[in-house]
Amino acid sequence: MALKYTIEEAVTAWRRASQIVFYNAGRLSIQDDVVDVAVVASQRNLAKEESIRFQTHFIVQKSNLNLLSQTPSSDISTEKLIAFGSKSNVTAIIRETPDTKSSEKKNKQILEIWKDNCLWNSVDLQHLDKHGKVYTDGTFGCLEFSPDEKHLVYLAEKKEPKKQSFLQFGVASSAEGSKGTEYDFVEDWGEQLVGKSQPVICIYKVNWEPFQSEDAVRILEASDEWSPGQLVWCSNQHLAGVAWYHQPRRLGIIYCSNRPSQIFKVDVSSGKYDWFGLKRNTAASPRHHAESNTLVYLTSLAYGPHHKEQQIAIISPDGTVQQVHSDSSESYQGMYNQSFPERCWSSDGKLVFFTTPCKSSVQSYALVLDSFKVHKLSLPDGCTGSVVLDVFQDLILVCGVSLTRPDQLFIGRFDPARVNEAPIQWKGLSGNNVLPSAHSLATDVLSFKPEDDMEYEASLVFPQNASKKTPLIVVPHGGPHAVSTDQFKSEVYFFSQLGYAVLFVNYRGSTGFGEKSLYSLLGKVGVQDVQEVHHATVQMVEKHSEVLDKELVFLFGGSHGGFLVTHLSGQYPDFYRAVSTRNPVIDMASMFPITDIADWTIVESGLGDGSELENLLEPQSFSRMWEFSPIRYAKQVKAPTLLLVGKVDRRVPPTQSIEYYRALQLSGIKTRMIMYEDCHSLSQVPVDTDALINTVLWFQESLQ
């Protein structure tokens, strides 16, 4: 019994998988009878050891949507934010470039304004000394022109007085009380948002002159009780945005749509704020339709599961807030995405387009505002799902997805009056993206209904030319309130080239299967989800016994997926051959005091909704958390275990893996721990590369 591949073959397989392109964003523009489709894609650059972003323009005939030509791609990795004018040919870019004069290897943040295809103005925003670092993340960050193109809005860290040591005698304090504060703890927004604590709204005045004075930036005053983000212009005088509240404290916000928040509108002249929605709810992704002066956004109850169904809410011109209640069905299980496309409106303001998981697939829909009916969009040929990238006039741009082939681009035309009747006729832009025949993939999906019509699914991806003794890697997703969809995955392509099949299990508690299923997991983690992953694995192995080898089943998962694979190896020690896990949750009790999502341990343990952290510091609470944790089964583990750990993980601190490593050592289990200078996602290209290649070598070594 052996897994036959060399280190060189594993590296070659990863190089091939790293060539896969993923489409992230797109923008449609029309001039005369020609459509310009500007598409942003990402890809791993192994030579540079980083993920790059690049842009390609596809030129399309407007009348029939036939592809006329496409431009060479250009690297735009330094462009962190971009804004487009609505009236003229202007763009604004916030670009990050290395500051060659900085001994601390800091980046410059340059605001560039382009007009008529040339650079009109540029400014180093830090030199203006109005604020701290500009927010370019996907949670808070924004950059947008006002409708008249005279102002830009963005977010930056609030400027704080310079902190000085007590030993700086003879140096005047920069502000009263600033001495002796250089080591004060400053609360921030956690994982991947380290150092981001108090954003402020920055209004940049665009004078359309080659040079501007230092008073070009004005800071809108805001409260220290909340952080603004996701800003959009509603008029030349008014902005809308999201305010996340700081109480009871700043909890980690990335991957967490359950933080208390509201929509606000602010008059940029007077600074007057108006509020919409309730403080006990959440708010995200405001999108404004200019002609009807209508705003849509996403909302749900605050606290509880870190992600759950989002209700679509509408703010009418008179300020009335109305929530959309649409019936779920086999083809629509509710809105589980955390954002709308940047441009999601039809021109007449009667349709809103969006994408959301529906069971184990990702699908796109149109919401008809007159009736609150949700209609699923037709799929492009060869695709099992789609993601809306842009909507402009009567055109829509989507990324077509499948587990067995890389992403593809499609453009289509919709009839606003017949969106529920006339299927969109899609035209492909990116060619027929298929894998080499020697590495082609096949897939199978199994569905299970254990009780009360609550369904869960398992998706198998395997080499089309699989041998009779194909090893299987079981990959449960993290969250746990997340989902494995039918989007192509580089990791699967990598594993499959080396002869592995891969199994994804969307156990009950996953998103996209309805709220009853999602809430059924609370207070049952480590039991219900573990049993369902194992059951799905056994059933899939039995169904494909002519291909899958039941003696070669491996485990690979991170975060809550790591929680599951370490549980599985402890609860079913004779079934799984080896484990590789990224930043796994091992002991919820020891994680509670130090993670950036302390409420997660409470919610998943069934101890409450996470809103009252201070009331749960009792011995019985920690005891209950421990009982749900994989550390409970550490003495039963037999499988060799590889731990892949981020040193600066704020979500699942590295002490979780260290605790497990020591426990397995005491039991005499073969184990190895690799520590990376990375955060929870372990997404840095050299880290990702090392982790995946070490994983397949670990599986191979476990059979020796």
For residue 582, CA distances in Å to 590, 673, 674 come to: 18, 10, 10
Going along 256-384, which residue ranges are E strands?
261-267, 273-276, 284-289, 294-299, 311-315, 321-324, 351-358, 361-368, 373-376
Question: Rounded to an integer, what distance in angstroms lies between the CA atom of residue 663 and that of residue 639?
Answer: 13
* Annotation marks residue 587 as catalytic: no
- Sign (positive/negative) of CA torsion 474, 192, 225, 247? positive
366-382 burial code (b ≥16 CB/10 A, e <16): bbbbeeeebbebebbee
Q: Which helix (H) or strand (E) holds 97?
A: strand 90-98
Angle, CA of 379, 459 and 312, to the nearest 5°: 50
Count the alpha carbons within 13 Å of 559 in the hemisphere toward its beta carbon.
19
Which segments of 572-642 does DSSP mark as H helices, in order? 588-591, 598-604, 619-627
Query: Are 541 and 512 contacting, i.e. CB atoms less than 8 angstroms apart?
Result: no
* Active-site pick, 649, 657, 688, 702: 649
Query: Are 547 and 541 contacting, i.e. CB atoms less than 8 angstroms apart?
Result: no
301, amino acid identity: L
- With CA atoms as reference, report the closest residue to 15 among 45, 37, 53: 45
9, amino acid identity: E
Can you give the length of the chain in residues?
A: 704
CB atoms within 10 A of CB 654: 17
- With CA atoms as reference, report the closest residue to 514 among 561, 600, 456: 456
Query: Are 604 and 480 contacting, i.e. CB atoms less than 8 angstroms apart?
Result: yes
Q: SS3 of 409, please?
A: strand
Query: Are 608 and 621 contacting, i.e. CB atoms less than 8 angstroms apart?
Result: no
* Annotation marks residue 649 as catalytic: yes
Q: Which helix (H) or strand (E) holds 695?
A: helix 685-701
- With CA atoms as reference, report the closest residue to 254 among 204, 307, 295: 307
Question: Rounded to an integer, what distance in angstroms lies between the CA atom of residue 352 and that of residue 296?
Answer: 9
C-alpha 297 chain-centroid distance: 18
- With CA atoms as reference, report the closest residue to 605 among 524, 680, 545: 524
* Annotation marks residue 560 as catalytic: no
Place of tokens 């200078």: 677
* Active-site pick, 151, 289, 307, 680: 680
Q: What would the DSSP string read from start to end of 300-320?
A: -BSSSSSS-PBEEEEE-TTS-
* Active-site pick, 261, 300, 559, 569: 559
- Sign (positive/negative) of CA torsion 646, 648, 649, 655? positive
- With CA atoms as reference, report the closest residue to 530 among 572, 575, 568: 568
- Sign (positive/negative) of CA torsion 669, 675, 681, 682? negative
256, amino acid identity: C
Count the alpha carbons within 13 Å of 229 in the hemisphere toward its beta carbon.
24
CB atoms within 10 A of CB 470: 18
Q: How many helices and strands, by DSSP H and E, does the chain display?
A: 10, 36
The DSSP secondary-structure symbol of 215 reads G
Going along 482-614, which residue ranges are E strands?
501-506, 548-558, 579-582
Angle, CA of 29, 31 and 34, to the nearest 5°: 85
Active-site residue set: 559, 649, 680
